[in-house]
């Protein structure tokens, strides 16, 4: 299989504009003849559905939540990047492009990343026009703050609720098209399979989560905008319902899955407090603008603190190690997420971690409060401080926050070309569902940027190019391909319900998550990955022998929903391990312990691994086939990443 990325010819800065002119168009009278399915209503899905509906296409939008506005995009806190250069501090489209390529440790396509930087400036205008209440300076101009991996202030924000406010903007645009009849909304409906006719994506099979009814929907093209797969780890900052089923079922129908081992660990999360937890809470990276990260300088001091023999306030300034500022003076506390996470782990591995478990570091705002006053800090981060206080019962204005890395985002996803189409004609993947823009590590505040870029400004052009070259004739759900897919879904559900074992779905999910975290988490090595692969296979076999799924299919059945998702995670987890084992280098969020510099930094192997690893499904339990898309860097120089 040859992977054709369809990157346009010409200079980097001109590729997208030329491509927009060269793509084929669908005239307005013909747009109403085409049906498009959009699965997912987060920022990528809602913006795509709204824009495609406004263009005149007939759109069907699906989400498993009870409302599109409950998509997990609401959980994003800190901001959205855009190269507006309002601060006049040296930002530009090229600098945003460069920071993103470098932040991803040179494992992303130049053309896709540059386009993302280009359209970022339009996203802000779009959202302001929708009424998104971005923070503003005293004079009324939009405010910016810094984020990790950049030395300029380019992050637009709405306190610590940026994702929610942006989603409300997209949701309002979506509702407008629903009211006009151009978008038909299907809430509480989950995609369980992709339907292909003559080698093209022509529809989906879904389960009504209220009634349990299995239904089919046909279209001329299918857009997946279903987010990432971080919940394979069980404990993550993702919503409990976030899953990989739509993308994984498409993968099993032939869509390649790219770079699955590239998982982002977010450095500022509230630490695990007990085995009862089902998810973790993110504390925005924006806090690292004013918060200083530190641990005690000695193991002895840390032990006294953990035993309660001393208090934080007893530790003198000279006895504190502000390790990010010490090791990375140029970027300090605003190093990229993978660097900050790995260093927090190193501090705790040395025995200098804080908190009862020793698996935490401090994020301290004392200096900022002294410098600017508590009201100023509260104006920036008040809702985040309130959230921390409610969860931990500690006052972060008086004592440092305790934070520790946690699974947050997945850079891997379905392989797509420049048009965001997978290798299956007519099947598109947008936002976190695809692999395209972040390489081996995503810079903070870039997830919202990519979701809205894909939905508002990319997919409306590129999907038209595909539809214009395909007939308007519809394929009905009476087609044998739909009936076959429906029967396969029903058979799988019945199989899950018939096992009647002794272990709960959550029990299996937790076991998988622990394996993934221990052996394919912040650090990996060949021995551990090989062990994890064997254990995941054993766990998957046991799942299909001993899982207990109560209830029946034709009704509300949350346990059956979970079982379907965990069954997919058990397959995806093995592919993540395969990918991590294949990539004999360290880059970004993929840190192989065998490949590091003397300073414990990631050591890339550009000669052998400067490629996108796109995996082909060959059957459950069979070894997947690796396809490589070589990455070419013509505008940036491949160098050892340094933030010192």
Residues forming the active site: 337
* Pairing status of strand 401-410 against strand 263-269: antiparallel
Structure tokens at 285: 């990276």
What is the C-alpha separation between 541 and 546, in angstroms, rounded? Answer: 9
Query: Token match 């009201």: residue?
Result: 375
**Nearest Cα to Cα of residue 440 among 251, 605, 324, 252:** 605
Under 8 Å between Cβ of 401 and 409:
no
Instruction: Identify whether the C-beta of residue 189 lies closer than 8 Å to the C-beta of residue 45.
Output: no
Question: What number of residues does the chain have?
Answer: 644
Residue 285 burial (CB < 10 Å; 0-12/13-18/19+)? buried
Do the beta carbons of residue 224 and residue 430 sit within 8 Å?
yes
CA-CA-CA-CA torsion sign (618, 620, 622, 627): positive
* Helix H or strand E encompassing 452: helix 447-452
β-strand partners of 428 = 223, 421
The secondary structure of 556-603 as a DSSP string is --HHHHHHHHHHHHHHHHHHHHHHHHH--S-BTTB-BTTSB-TTS-B-
Question: Token pair for residue 545?
Answer: 């022998």
Local structure of residue 145 (DSSP, 8 states): B
* DSSP of 20-83: HHHS----HHHHTT-EEEEE--SHHHHHHHHHHHHHT-EEEEE-SSSSGGGSGGGG--S-EE--
CB 435 within 8 A of CB 413: yes
Contact assessment for residue 119 and residue 55, using Cβ atoms and an 8 Å cutoff? no
Q: Which tokens is 205 given?
A: 């099979």
Q: What one-character DSSP code corresponds to residue 434?
A: B
Q: Do the Cβ atoms of 439 and 104 come closer than 8 Å?
A: yes
Give how far Cα 575 sits from Cα of 113, 127, 259, 417, Å: 26, 38, 10, 21
Half-sphere exposure of 399 (CA within 13 A, CB side): 17
């Amino acid at each position: 299989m040859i992977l054709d990325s369809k990157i346009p010819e010409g200079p980097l800065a001109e590729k997208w504009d030329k491509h927009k002119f060269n793509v084929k168009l669908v005239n307005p009278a013909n747009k109403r003849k085409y049906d498009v399915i959009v699965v997912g209503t987060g920022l990528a899905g809602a913006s795509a559905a709204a824009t495609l509906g406004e263009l005149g296409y007939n759109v069907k939008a699906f989400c498993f939540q009870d409302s599109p506005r409950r998509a997990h995009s609401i959980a994003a806190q800190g901001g959205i990047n855009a190269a507006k250069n309002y601060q006049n501090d040296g930002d530009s489209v090229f600098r945003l492009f460069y920071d993103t390529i470098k932040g991803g440790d040179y494992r992303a396509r130049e053309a896709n990343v540059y386009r993302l930087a280009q359209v970022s400036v339009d996203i802000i205008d779009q959202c302001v026009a929708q009424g998104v209440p971005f923070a503003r300076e005293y004079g009324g101009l939009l405010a910016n703050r810094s984020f990790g991996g950049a030395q300029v202030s380019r992050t637009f924000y709405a306190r610590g609720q940026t994702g929610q406010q942006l989603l409300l903007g997209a949701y309002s645009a979506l509702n407008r098209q629903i009211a006009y009849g151009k978008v038909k909304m299907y809430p509480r409906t989950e995609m369980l399979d992709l339907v292909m006719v003559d080698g093209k994506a022509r529809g989906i099979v879904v389960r009504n989560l209220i009634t349990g009814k299995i239904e089919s929907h046909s279209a001329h093209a299918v857009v997946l905008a279903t987010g990432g797969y971080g919940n394979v780890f069980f404990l993550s900052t993702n919503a409990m319902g976030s899953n990989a089923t739509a993308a994984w079922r498409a993968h099993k129908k032939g869509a390649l899955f790219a770079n699955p081992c590239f998982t982002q660990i977010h450095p500022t999360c509230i630490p695990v407090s007990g085995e009862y937890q089902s998810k973790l809470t993110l504390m925005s990276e924006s806090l690292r603008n004013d918060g200083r990260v530190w641990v005690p300088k000695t193991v002895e001091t840390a032990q006294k603190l953990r035993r309660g023999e001393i208090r934080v306030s007893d530790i003198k300034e000279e006895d504190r190690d502000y390790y990010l500022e010490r090791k990375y003076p140029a970027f300090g506390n605003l190093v990229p997420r993978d660097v900050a996470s790995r260093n927090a782990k190193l501090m705790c591995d040395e025995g200098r971690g804080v908190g009862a478990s020793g698996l935490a570091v401090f994020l301290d705002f004392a200096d900022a409060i002294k410098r600017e006053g508590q009201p100023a800090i509260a104006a920036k981060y008040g809702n985040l401080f309130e959230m921390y206080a409610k969860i931990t019962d500690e006052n972060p204005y008086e004592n440092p926050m305790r934070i520790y890395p946690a699974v947050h985002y997945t850079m891997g996803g379905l392989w797509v070309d420049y048009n965001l189409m997978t290798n299956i004609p007519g099947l598109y993947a947008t936002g976190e569902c695809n692999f395209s823009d972040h390489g081996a590590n995503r810079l903070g505040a870039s997830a919202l940027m990519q979701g809205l870029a894909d939905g508002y400004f990319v997919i409306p052009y590129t999907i038209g190019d595909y539809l214009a070259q395909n007939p308007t004739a519809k394929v009905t759900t009476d087609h044998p391909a739909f009936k076959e897919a429906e029967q396969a879904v029903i058979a799988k559900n019945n199989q899950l319900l018939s096992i009647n074992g002794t272990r709960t779905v959550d029990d299996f999910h937790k076991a998988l998550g622990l394996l993934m975290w221990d052996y394919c988490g912040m650090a990996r090595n060949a021995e551990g990955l090989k062990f994890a692969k064997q254990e995941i296979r054993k766990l998957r076999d046991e799942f299909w022998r001993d899982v207990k799924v109560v209830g029946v299919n034709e009704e509300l059945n949350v346990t059956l929903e979970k079982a379907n998702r965990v069954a997919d995670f058990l397959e995806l987890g093995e592919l993540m391990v395969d990918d991590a084992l294949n990539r004999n280098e360290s880059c970004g969020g993929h840190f192989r312990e065998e490949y590091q510099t003397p300073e414990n930094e990631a050591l890339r192997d550009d000669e052998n691994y400067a490629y996108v690893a796109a995996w082909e499904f060959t059957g459950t339990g069979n070894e997947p086939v690796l396809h490589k898309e070589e990455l070419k860097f013509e505008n940036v120089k491949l160098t050892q990443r340094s933030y010192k």
